[in-house]
Amino acid sequence: IELLQKHLYQEEVVQRALRGENVIIWLPTGGGKTRAAVYVAKKHLENNPGAKVAVLVNKVHLVDQLYNNEFKPFLGLDYSLVSISGDCDQKEFFGCNVKNSDLVICTAQILENALTNQEEGKHVELSQFTLLIIDECHHTHKEGVYNKIMGRYVAQKLKGERRLPQILGLTASPGTGGAKSIKGAVEHVLQICANLDSVIVSSKVYAPELKKKVPRPRKRFDIVDKRPQDPFGDHLKFMMQFIHDFMALGPDFPVREFGTQEYEADVVILEKKGVTDRNRLLAQCALHLRQYNDALLINDTVRMVDAFRVLESYYSTKSSIAMDGTDFFLLGLYQENEVELRKLSGDARFENPKMGKLQNTLLEQFDQGKPSRGILFSKTRKSTHCLYDWVSNNPALQRAGIRAAILTGAGNGINYMTQNEQKETIRTFRRGSLNLLISTSVAEEGLDIPECNLVVRYGLLTNEIAQQQASGRARASDSVYSVVAQAGGREVRRELLNECLEDLTGRAIGEVQRMEHREFQMKITDLQTEALLTRQLAEQLKIKKRSRFSAATVQLSCRGCFVPVAFGNDIKVIENAHHVNINPDFEKYYKTGGQPALKTFEDWEPGRVISCAACGRQWGMEMVYKEIALLPILAIENFAMETPEGRKLAKKWKNVEFTVEEFNFSTYCHSKFPNMFD
């Protein structure tokens, strides 16, 4: 099968890869980057006996998509292919699968785990592969998993290792890395090239054909005037000011505008200060203010009733766990105003005008008597659920035949989707049973839906890469890319800035491509050497930080009520991921709740959610390990740490300043069930 017989621009961009060079292919969304990669993989397998290819993706749903739609149809008859993601059992035998396959498609994290896991049957080396294809390779930077893998690659290359795979990166845009000057943008593109040890190629000779093949959607700004009156939002702000007066912060804490991301950052800092200063009044007020700010943000994005429901849900859990005057004040304030808030949220005269504009935008596309398919992008999981509820209960949208579904990232919790739910939603959308996806950024990259003829960006502030990716979802002829936003709002300003940054990215890539080969290689080597030294230094600092305090000298207290509940040496880590408390006395400090929506894993299954017995703050969940040990898994962000140098906080366990020892199952069983071993 001649994969590229129709598109000369694809043949143009694969030439250097076919000669064995490390290459980043830069083509717009819909330009056929993946098909070009299939072609390179096919030729690579044909021309190199014993070749082994790995295709890495950064989102779970792309594993099956690339396997079923791209690689298997063209390579499946002649070669052994396997697809592996986090929700399949094959990942437990990744090393065996690599050994027995010609081509492996997997999430990058699966490969990273296999590179670090030394257990036989699970471990692999980079040298086992002869070609590494990295999808959406602009993510190869900073602490991302792509860059961890490529960091190993670069380190081995600089040591003189010859048995390394060829690299093929795919991207619609490397972006500017936040730079707004040509110099900064060039430096960013060079850094991406250095991280991937690759040159960047694009279509030059056949660029006109590419432009014809991938037309840009018709972009428009659907602008609405500012809401003339917002009594619901004003009442929320009045309540927030009341809390500020109660805190009596003084002039040292200037407050930014309520209902903004900047204000959210301020209250996050306030909560941390309250915890570290042992000022529970400050910490609890900050937590409640964040909820009110969330409600204001939702009020600005979707309906008033959605904002009210968020507050209603939050306070429904608070009445039974008030423990001091601060709690009674905050709970009382809400209860005194609940009836008024409910009444204001239902007053249609003051509804968010963006909703009417969004309705018109959708009806223009769907109410024309012809099949349409669209994606509505919104910022948060919460807002996607609010929008889904609105679409599902809107008579005009239902009459237009809109069949919507939510698509959000995989994870744990009420607003997350399982990986199987993601896959099924995408399959149903591609088949046409659904015609509107209401999605977070998870659908911006890689989702292969050529027939999509409407993309709506709603309440989003993102960079130029995300904007290009979202725009590229609208690939049908005469498609529309709509930005629904308030007049003079930040969304419009950001969209216009992103257009400039997109142009700047193209100019920067052009400069990098015009560099003399020797100059380019010198810059790349310098950047790689600098990155390697930086990583080594960072690792040394991490090791030093982790041994700063003895675990026995660190006491953990609940972040909600400051009650001491454990010591650092009570904590052990299982599989380098799950931090559990093995002290049997710990169970008196927590109460159990419902069951989280999690599957059963190889060695353990999830138990119940656990919360502080005193204040109700959620701490984590139980795990049943090897069918014997019932252990509480703790999230360190829910605790404060008393150290010899004062109270400290950590967002992740990797940031704590004491060493957490590995859990020893045999030792645990001896201590827990001593009579079993007599």
Other Cβ atoms within 10 Å of 246 Cβ, number: 14
The per-residue pLDDT for range 188-211, each reduced to its tens digit, is 999 999 999 999 999 999 999 998
pLDDT score at 413? 54
Question: In 3D, which of 26, 167, 29, 147 has the Cα closest to residue 445?
Answer: 29
Q: What is the DSSP letter of 130?
A: S
pLDDT score at 345? 97
The tokens describing 659, both together, are 């060493």
> Longest Cα pair distance anywhere in the chain, in angstroms?
81
On whether the CB atoms of residues 86 and 110 are closer than 8 A, the answer is yes
**Do residues 65 and 145 share a domain?**
yes
Contacts of 97 (CB under 8 A, 6+ apart): 82, 84, 90, 104
On whether the CB atoms of residues 524 and 190 are closer than 8 A, the answer is yes
**Do residues 222 and 249 share a domain?**
no
Question: In 3D, which of 409, 405, 429 has the Cα closest to residue 417?
Answer: 409
* CATH value at residue 323: 1.20.1320.30
* CATH value at residue 600: 2.170.150.30
pLDDT score at 443? 66
User: What SS3 state is found at 2?
Assistant: coil
Domain assignment present for residue 493? The answer is yes
**Do residues 490 and 558 share a domain?**
no
Distance CA 127, CA 231 (A): 64
Distance CA 367, CA 380 (A): 27
On the question of pLDDT at 1 being above 50, the answer is no
Ramachandran sector of residue 259 (left: φ over 0; alpha: ψ -120 to 50; beta: rest): left
The tokens describing 286, both together, are 């900050």
Which pairs from 517-525 meet CB under 8 Å and 24+ separation? 520/193, 520/199, 523/190, 523/194, 524/190, 524/193, 524/194, 524/197
**Do residues 460 and 380 share a domain?**
yes
More confident residue, 409 or 6: 409
pLDDT score at 675? 67
**Do residues 593 and 656 share a domain?**
yes
Question: In 3D, which of 124, 129, 126, 142 has the Cα closest to residue 195?
Answer: 142
State residue 451 phi and psi, 5-degree precision: -80, -5
Distance CA 467, CA 399 (A): 31
Distance CA 226, CA 211 (A): 38
Domain assignment present for residue 51? The answer is yes
pLDDT score at 622? 94
The per-residue pLDDT for range 550-602, each reduced to its tens digit, is 999 999 999 999 999 999 999 999 988 999 999 999 999 999 998 876 666 77
Domain assignment present for residue 639? The answer is yes
**Do residues 383 and 315 share a domain?**
no
Using H for helix, E for strand and C for coil, what is the string for 546-582? HCCECHHHCEEEECCCCCEEEEHHHEEEECCCEEEEC
Distance CA 166, CA 44 (A): 10
Domain assignment present for residue 179? The answer is yes
Strand pairing category for 166-171 and 23-26 = parallel
On the question of pLDDT at 446 being above 70, the answer is no
As for how many domains the chain has, the answer is: 4
Average pLDDT value for the chain: 91
Q: Cα torsion for 469, 471, 476, 480, to the nearest 10°?
A: 170
The per-residue pLDDT for range 498-553, each reduced to its tens digit, is 889 999 999 999 999 999 999 999 999 999 999 999 999 999 999 999 999 999 99
**Do residues 34 and 179 share a domain?**
yes
On the question of pLDDT at 390 being above 60, the answer is yes
User: What SS3 state is found at 27?
Assistant: coil
Answer positive or negative: Cα dihedral of 582, 584, 590, 591.
positive
Name the least confident of 65-69, 448-452, 511-515. Answer: 448-452
Treating both helix axes as pointing N-terminal to C-terminal, what angle do 325-345 and 280-301 enclose, rounded to 10 degrees?
10
The per-residue pLDDT for range 82-107, each reduced to its tens digit, is 999 866 666 667 889 999 999 999 99
**Do residues 203 and 222 share a domain?**
no
The tokens describing 564, both together, are 């001491």
Which range has the top average pLDDT, 212-216, 221-225, 282-286, 317-321? 282-286
Query: Which residue type is seen at 533?
Result: L
The per-residue pLDDT for range 26-60, each reduced to its tens digit, is 999 889 999 999 999 999 999 999 999 999 999 88
Q: Which residue has the tokens 């237009």?
A: 400
Would you give the end-to-end CA distance of the chain in angstroms?
Answer: 69
**Do residues 629 and 481 share a domain?**
no
Other Cβ atoms within 10 Å of 137 Cβ, number: 27
More confident residue, 443 or 281: 281
Distance CA 584, CA 545 (A): 29
Please compute Rg for the chain using Cα positions.
Answer: 27
Among residues 509, 539, 559, the one where a domain terminates is 509
On whether the CB atoms of residues 641 and 556 are closer than 8 A, the answer is yes
Instruction: Give me the percent of the chain exceeding a pLDDT of 70.
Output: 92
* Domain carrying residue 62: 8-213
On whether the CB atoms of residues 571 and 581 are closer than 8 A, the answer is yes
Among residues 167, 187, 213, the one where a domain terminates is 213
On the question of pLDDT at 364 being above 70, the answer is yes
Distance CA 186, CA 553 (A): 49
Domain assignment present for residue 153? The answer is yes
State residue 74 phi and psi, 5-degree precision: -100, -20
**Do residues 559 and 615 share a domain?**
yes
Distance CA 608, CA 610 (A): 6
Other Cβ atoms within 10 Å of 220 Cβ, number: 12
The tokens describing 95, both together, are 């090393």
On the question of pLDDT at 677 being above 70, the answer is no
The per-residue pLDDT for range 607-665, each reduced to its tens digit, is 999 999 999 999 999 999 998 899 999 999 999 999 999 999 999 999 999 999 999 99
Domain assignment present for residue 530? The answer is no
**Do residues 434 and 566 share a domain?**
no
Question: In 3D, which of 445, 447, 598, 443 has the Cα closest to residue 86?
Answer: 598
**Do residues 38 and 144 share a domain?**
yes
Q: Give 375's strand partners.
A: 437, 455
Answer positive or negative: Cα dihedral of 574, 577, 583, 588.
negative
On whether the CB atoms of residues 166 and 130 are closer than 8 A, the answer is yes
Domain assignment present for residue 287? The answer is yes
More confident residue, 611 or 409: 611
Domain assignment present for residue 367? The answer is yes
Q: What is the DSSP letter of 674?
A: G
Among residues 445, 477, 509, the one where a domain terminates is 509
Distance CA 559, CA 550 (A): 21
* CATH value at residue 407: 3.40.50.300
Q: In what order do the strands lie in the sheet with 646-648?
A: 564-567, 555-558, 639-643, 646-648
On the question of pLDDT at 410 being above 80, the answer is no
